[in-house]
Structure 1
Amino acid sequence: MISLHTHGTGTAAEAPAGDGHRTTEHLSQECTTPDDVPQPRRSSVERVHRLLSSFDYEHTHLRLSDLSRRAGLPLSTTHRMVTELLELEILERDENDLLCIGVAVWKFGLLTPKTYGIHRVALPFMQDLYATTRLPVHLGIPQGNQATIVESLRPRGGGRERPRIGQRDPLHMTAVGTALLAFCDNNFQEHYLTNLRNRRGTDTPEVIRRELAQTRACGYAVNKRKTAPRTAIGAPVLDRSGRPLGAVSLVVPAGTATPPYDHLVRKTARAVQRMAWEQGMG
């Protein structure tokens, strides 16, 4: 994915430098701890998922022992599976001989229907919005009760800026999510709000219901829950039946008046929507 910011690249503890490849013999040298603790039986697919899920923005490179610990799998099982995953290029070794996600996973990710189409269509318009405002621009899609960020453009040097690509948040917590939730069907909305019945403050069903009504009336959402003191403005990209395909958001500095940014965000989302319809999406 194209992005104007630099992701964090936290690494694990230093490992001896190598040529970027490990043999089974080298891997075996890390498997010296006996598996004393009984482990529940898990399917192979679940174990692979646990291994891949052990990597994140703070842990992009791991030693075998760290991967075993984070995945909650025996060291011998991790060793055996990592050997095969390396052969399949699902995992790779970096220049320091640490494990990292392989190119094969990236290739699979490009085929994800929920992200590929909307991302491809939205990116040029997001780049125009970023060039106009020089402010962070995000694209999110609905995923159950959460919004997942699939693209993020922001100034370089933003450090640990949020959200990051792949980040998921409850729908009501972000401008992207609020814009999505406002245009979901009524049954989904009511079920979502029911799950908030024990919340307090700004997260109660009554507060969220008013925000959703305001979003439908204006065509955009305003949300500070994850960005305060800055303000996030999000506008939906809808299919032909009025259901959300995704949403575009812009994060403006604290104290900045919403106009004209609300107009720019809505204009961008509608341009993405028109292009999506022309290309048969939704």
Structure 2
Amino acid sequence: MTGTDEMPEAAGRVFDAVSGNWVDRFAPAGTRPYLRLSRADRPIGTWLLLLPCWWGVLLAAGATGWRWFDLWIIVGCALGAWLMRGAGCTWNDITDRHIDGSVARTRSRPIPSGQVTVRQAAVWMAAQALIALAILLTFNTTAILMGILSLAPVAIYPFAKRFTWWPQVFLGIAFNWGALLAWAAHTGSLSLPPLLLYLSGIAWTIFYDTIYAHQDREDDALIGIKSTARLFGDKTHLVLRLFMMATTLLMTAAIVTALIGADNIPRLLIALTGVWAFGWHMTWQLSRLDIDDGARCLSLFRANRDAGLIPALFFAVALLV
């Protein structure tokens, strides 16, 4: 590594953290390793966990009518996404502590770099999960049960890359659970539209996390870690185009089944416009993708915050009709 590559580790910073992030600049020194475990210096993951939640509650409100409690669902999901993403990432770092030390991008993380012990990380993980549970308990029974069930894919995901070429599927199962939970928090039940929305989110996760995984393709091959980036290889553009199509078609189906009806035609058209704009953004990402350029892959991965905000914004506008 060059001298500039070593700087983040020497300063206690994580190598792929956002430059000038608030954790490194403003957080008290003693809290920084724990905030880094929670990826507070890399907020994109929180957005990617939160956005399916907002899709779910906004589409449910479009289908059955806005309620003021939905405002708390939106806020509660935002708080819960930050906490559960933090708890999940802490768990991931605990389980991957030996692997992370062998990968250039991850060896500066708090556990392999010695900033925190495994015991300290476990206590921090539990604290975040308990606060998230307190928020979850303000929702209805169906949503609470969905929240408890979400712990299973969260627990399994860190091990997926050891036994399958498709760990991104397991990430998608975990990261898009909020679409089901938020729909249930609004309606008290589940039906076909949230299931289609959930499947759309899983396809989207495979899309963006394959782009992300191309950063580690060579290191993963050396230590025997599986990923869709390694599986797709030179066919990545073609395969991701298929997942892009699956994302938009499944979300279109979710919107149509949720909003179909004479009274909802304007709302339906606005929501569908958001999906098509979402698909355009993913098409733009593919046009820019160079799987051999790690910096480009990271930049495009982060661009999925804006991509996912597009349908959320259009769903919100549709509620005004």
TM-score, structure 1 normalization: 0.28
Tell me: higher relative CO, structure 1 or 2? Use CA pairs within 8 A at least 6 residues apart.
2
* Structure possessing the higher radius of gyration over alpha carbons: 1
TM-score, structure 2 normalization: 0.26
